[in-house]
Amino acid sequence: MRKIWSIPGGIHPEENKSQSLQLPLGEVALPSELIFPLSQHIGAPAKPIVTVGERVLAGQKIADAKGMISAAVHASTSGTVTAIEDRTLPHPSGLSGPCIVLAADGKDEFAAFEACEDYLSLDKAVLVQKIREAGIAGMGGAGFPTAVKLSPRANQPIDTLIINGTECEPYITADDILMQTQAEDIIKGTLLLAHILSQPGRIVIGIEDNKPLAIAAITQAAEGTPVEVVSFPTKYPSGGEKQLIQILTGKEVPSGALPSSIGIVLQNVGTTVAAYEAVRFGKPLIERITTVVGEALATQRNIRVRLGTPIHHVLAEHGFAEKKAMRLIVGGPMMGYALEQDDVPVVKTTNCILAPTKKEMPPPRPTQACIRCGMCAEACPASLLPQQMYWYAAAEEYDRLEAQNIMDCIECGACSYVCPSNIPLVQYYRAAKGTMRQMAIDKEKSDRSRKRFEFRQERIAKAEAEKEAKRLARKKAAELAKQKQEADKAAGVQPSGHTAKADIVATAMASAKAKQATPEEQKAKLERAVTSAEGRLEKLQQRHSDADGDMKERLAAQIKQAELKLQEAKDKLAHFTPVPTAITTVAADAPAATADPNDPVAVAIARAQAKMTMAPDEKLQANIVSLTGRLAKAEEKLAAAKAENSDKVDALQTGVDKLKEKIASAEQELAELTPSAPTATPAPEQDAAAAAIERAKAKAAAQANLSPEDKLRDQLTSINGRLEKARIKLEQAQAENTDTVAALQLGLDKMLAKQDKLRDELRALNPNAPELTDQPATAAEVAPQPAPTVDAATAAIEKAKAKADALASMSPEDKLRDQIASLETRLDKAKQRLAKAEAEDDPNLDAFKAGVEKTEAKLQQTKQQLVTSNS
């Protein structure tokens, strides 16, 4: 006989177990409708795998486990799924949740079960998976998924397996009758669990001594097996997990830890039988034994009831007198909860339905003030301080409650039972624990958000630091280059502009060659894009199958986008044409014709080189040729538009006129640049850049020989010529009322100021200089004064105020009409700009098209809003 340890606290309430043991185990008829909540266990709710209108058989899986800590749900009879909707749940909150509703067809047809005689030869992982697929969860009341309990961590070896047959709660005898009628199945299930847990050193079944028939039946069935049957004195709540472990082993489970952390696994006798039947016969959890008791019933007994059966159907089968009943309770009187309505179903954790009369269980007496008697602390089996926890819970001092280890409270109700002031202590603890759990969830979310914010700030700071480091590096490089240039200048070394340009081109060629990928790399990149798009589509489809509600619709839209991207990637791969990677090395002074015509990079570089070495007149000639080509295309488009009587004729005509103006302007500049008198033509082989450098050197040498006074005179002569040209341009702009008037006026003012400064410097050197006798015209004299106009900013403000006042007095329909008119005007202008861009073959043509499309979409949306408001 092994030693039995005692637990602190505990009480001895009236047992009331004999009422339900007078009759043998019975059954109830199948109801017409069954309800299967998707959350009958601790953890994530199950995921429905059937649809409305689908016919199912008894034992068929109708909802799959979602995640590791979850349990599947099976139909308990044959019938048709009529709804998947929210129904009231058998829960203390009385809230509703998702349920599968099944209309029974009365045939009670079963699905085929996969039996296994030699189950002990199977791999342990296979056995655990069978239990998981059968939807087994703790049937003692907690509802923890059994497969999870049977899969402890590798670093937690199990040396003790305890089967809980205590059933200490008053009134409940479901486990008692199970042990009396299925003792051999309990022993076989115990040996199965021991096999899964690698044969712990001790296998024990604990039973309170108030169940002599159950003790005798289990003892007889356990003969010749390593299973040890231990009975111990009755005391509530000896059936609690941690309390039973302490009674049978003397060990205490640490606060916040699981029994597996000290090498112990504990299972209820009902769970043990369900696991055995799932492995041996392939039978899922579709029924359980439930105690139906209370003086408001004509018949009190234990029944085998199908899961999903509404409680009102069970009560009707046992002659329930609603007028006599004080309340309906699911579970026992100590840890059970009251039902507000009886249409909730029997689930995996429903071990008792209690219907007491008012005489049997009178209403609680009024709550009085705490007298600090300390009886609650003496009765607490977890050695807590209920009185202090009550004060802190009432004051919502959650930090102090946590310090009092309130989470170790098993909510057994012993403290409330012995309280002379009738304080509902457990209700305070339950409410406080719920609030603290929510606070912990909120804190975890807040911490995650804070970490994301801190990481983002750190990333931004790092990017800013890198940016600043690059800026400093560029600044240092520029200073070094400047110092080198000054040193070269002091040493008399003149840098060649042509060489510098050649270096730039060579650098650009090297950079382009380094960045350009080989055909193999280009194809590999496209293949990776296809693989990535396929992977993303597969993940989205998987998430879509697991989602529901609005999330399902959002994922459907994302799947559509992913499919389009995948198709686009496949099309690019299918039509892949390798781009040549060889970049022809072109000398700095080579013409564009020497570039490889199949290499766009080399052609572009050669073109840039040729342009850099062109003389001004050559550039103008090339520009005229380009404009002439564009004009020819524009005239062709104009002729086609006129033939089709298109509405783009005016815009195309404007584009043609503009191109003609540009050609005329370029020809005029070329004529001004090329003197009529014959000039010495440099030798063809002379480099244009070298000639420019020579001219600059000659000018610098001439400047070096001038006196300061002559230099000032030379600068004054130059700026006087520039002033004359600026004045002419300003007059033309004012005459045409162009947008450049203000800019030209500002430039003219700056040149006048520069002229005054030069005159002052010259006056300081020679007050009698002839350049000072003719005073220049002032800015007011040079620029013709326009007629006085209203200040532009003031006019704009007044215009905005007037528009705001007009809008304020408009009805919503009038505002929409005003917006439509404005959008139509904007659309016409945008179309004109687009036509002009098409006529001139503008490189920004796509941007103009996008602007037109965006304006058309906005106009259509506004018109739809007007139609909606009128309807």
- Most confidently predicted of 17-21, 482-486, 541-545, 718-722: 17-21
Higher pLDDT, 588 or 612: 612
Domain boundaries, the chain: 19-286+302-309, 367-488, 616-674, 704-788, 792-870
pLDDT at 668 (0 to 100): 76
810 pLDDT exceeds 60? Answer: yes
Say which amino acid occupies 433: K
Q: How far apart are CA 31 and CA 17, in angstroms?
A: 28
Contacts of 289 (CB under 8 A, 6+ apart): 25, 174, 175, 177, 178, 270, 302, 303, 304, 305, 351
pLDDT at 674 (0 to 100): 58
pLDDT at 522 (0 to 100): 79
642 pLDDT exceeds 60? Answer: yes
Q: What are the φ and ψ backbone dihedral angles of 855, each rounded to 5 degrees?
A: -65, -40
Q: How far apart are CA 235 and CA 13, in angstroms?
A: 8
Confidence band of 585 (pLDDT split at 50, 70, 90): very low
Fold of 19-286+302-309: Rossmann fold (3.40.50)
**Does residue 836 contact residue 638 with C-beta atoms inside 8 Å?**
no
Helical packing angle, 124-133 and 183-196, nearest 10°: 130
Average pLDDT on 34-54 reads 93
Predicted TM-score (pTM) of this structure: 0.56
**Does residue 344 contact residue 88 with C-beta atoms inside 8 Å?**
yes
> pLDDT, tens digit, for every residue of 820-852?
888 888 888 888 878 877 777 776 777 778 788
Q: How far apart are CA 487 and CA 785, in angstroms?
A: 52
Higher pLDDT, 6 or 545: 6
Q: Give me the sheet containing 33-37, strands edge to edge.
A: 33-37, 96-104, 79-88, 55-56
Q: How far apart are CA 732 and CA 777, in angstroms?
A: 19
Nearest to 328 by CA among 92, 79, 72: 92
812 pLDDT exceeds 80? Answer: no
pLDDT at 589 (0 to 100): 41
Is residue 168 marked as binding?
A: no
> pLDDT, tens digit, for every residue of 753-801?
888 888 877 777 777 666 565 444 444 444 444 443 444 445 555 665 6
Confidence band of 171 (pLDDT split at 50, 70, 90): very high
Is residue 373 marked as binding?
A: yes
Task: Provide the H-helix boundaries in 404-424.
Answer: 414-418
Q: How far apart are CA 385 and CA 390, in angstroms?
A: 9
Average pLDDT on 397-410 reads 92
Is residue 412 marked as binding?
A: yes
Q: Picking from 354-368, 725-739, 791-805, which range would have the lowest pLDDT averaged per residue? A: 791-805
Confidence band of 806 (pLDDT split at 50, 70, 90): low
194 pLDDT exceeds 90? Answer: yes
pLDDT at 545 (0 to 100): 79
For residue 531, give the 3-state DSSP assignment.
Answer: helix
Kindly give the pairing relationship between strand 301-306 and strand 287-293. antiparallel
Query: Which class for 510: exposed (0-12), middle (13-18), buried (19 or more C-beta within 10 A)?
Result: exposed
Is residue 376 marked as binding?
A: yes
pLDDT at 1 (0 to 100): 54
> pLDDT, tens digit, for every residue of 235-263?
999 999 999 999 999 999 998 888 998 99
Q: What is the DSSP letter of 244?
A: H
Say which amino acid occupies 726: A
Q: How far apart are CA 94 and CA 92, in angstroms?
A: 6
Is residue 419 marked as binding?
A: yes
Mean pLDDT of the chain: 82
- The rounded Cα 833 to chain-centroid distance in angstroms is 42
pLDDT at 582 (0 to 100): 43
Higher pLDDT, 841 or 219: 219
502 pLDDT exceeds 60? Answer: no
Q: What torsion do the CA atoms of 667, 668, 669, 673 make, to the nearest 10 degrees? A: 100
> pLDDT, tens digit, for every residue of 665-695?
877 777 766 554 344 444 443 444 455 556 6
> pLDDT, tens digit, for every residue of 511-534?
666 656 677 777 888 888 888 888
Query: Out of 1.10.260, 1.10.760, 1.10.3470, 1.10.1060, which CATH number does the structure's domain 367-488 have?
Result: 1.10.1060
Q: Supply 636's token pair.
A: 């062709």
Q: How far apart are CA 530 and CA 538, in angstroms?
A: 12
